[in-house]
Amino acid sequence: MDKEAQLIEELVKNALYRMDESTRMIQKSLVDVSEEELWLKPNESLNSIANLILHLCGNISQYIISSLGENEDVRQRDAEFSATGGLTKTEVLDKLVETVDTAKRIIFDANTDQLLKVRSVQGFTFSGVGVILHAVEHYSYHTGQIAFWVKQLKNKDLGFYSDIDLNIKNKKSQ
């Protein structure tokens, strides 16, 4: 395998890993969250957990499914934030998982031309690589907000890495 193919494989592998990681963290965060808490807004300046998840679905759809996947952009961004109910916790999580799975397939199937093609998304100009980096970073950012909000609500550690010793020191590369 040539270096270019290896680089693309690494980018894709790590993007998919990070998306799975964010999905896992959100699912773990919501275990003890009630249906009512899912839609609770701490104040008028902040969004509910459900609004954040709907926003993630919209953003991932616009950037990955529509732009990178070269599908029609059907996002209705304002609706992501104005929703005040109508979906259960299971439905919101299913929508997230379905959106992420579709996006992961598109990332996995992207060819070099799609990754290098420059396009306009939401008024910004990105290559396919830039689109992927934005979507992964944006997903991670809001995953942290959701985790913080749940910790605030429940006053508990979410144990994202409870089965891993995070104090292990780095080993030198060989």
Residues 110-147: pLDDT tens digits? Answer: 999 999 999 999 999 999 999 999 999 999 999 999 99
Cα–Cα distance, 159 to 147 (Å, whole number): 11
Q: Is the pLDDT of residue 44 over 90?
A: no
Fold of 3-154: Four Helix Bundle (Hemerythrin (Met), subunit A) (1.20.120)
| pTM check: above 0.85 | yes
Q: How far is CA 80 from CA 31, 59, 73, in A?
A: 22, 10, 15
Q: Is the pLDDT of residue 77 over 80?
A: yes
Cα–Cα distance, 4 to 75 (Å, whole number): 33
The residue ranges of every structural domain in the chain are: 3-154
What's the token pair of residue 152?
A: 């605030």
